[in-house]
Amino acid sequence: MADAIIEIIGQDDLPTIVELHNQVFRPAQDAGRFRRRCAGRYNLLQMLARMGDRPVGFFLGAEVDPLTFAGFTWGVHPDVRRQGIATQLIEAVHEWARSHHYETVRLDCPNAARPMMQLALELGYDITGLHCDSSGESRVTFEFDLLRDAE
């Protein structure tokens, strides 16, 4: 199992997230789309997972309401999957969300990203919705009750 370093990064590091996102997902997105998605969001969280100096995973999310924190996009580079990096990222998100007094973490996954969905289920997330994004791609919404986990 890999032992990645998970770090919170700032807006200046958004291009690194965009680059990693485009190595994980298709079609490729530009930084402007990410900036628009983040604009005006409260408690924006950007995390990178690194192995040595190499960024290998990312998480991008923000507050939905005072009790719910949501991940917009997250992933791990294909070369280093199945080494526990995504689990480390999500556990870091849970820790951060608890410290900011959220009760729920919501993740949105493309229906085609079966490993992401399997991981969410393995980590104790519940399926709470299905919707299509603006491109018509179906997506599954998962939620994790941080209070249940704390008991």
What is the overall mean pLDDT for the chain? 89
Domain that holds residue 101: 5-109
Q: Quick check: is 114 in a domain? A: no
CA distance 132 to 116: 17
Q: Quick check: is 151 in a domain? A: no
Q: Quick check: is 140 in a domain? A: no
| Residue 122 structure tokens | 């393995």
Q: Quick check: is 99 in a domain? A: yes
Q: Which residues make Cβ contacts (< 8 Å) with residue 22, sequence separation at least 6? A: 28, 29
Check pLDDT > 80 for residue 149.
no
Q: Quick check: is 23 in a domain? A: yes
The pLDDT of residue 89: 95
Q: Quick check: is 116 in a domain? A: no
For 49-91, write each residue's pLDDT tens digit.
999 999 999 999 999 999 999 998 899 998 988 889 999 999 9
CATH classification of the domain holding 88 = 3.40.630.30
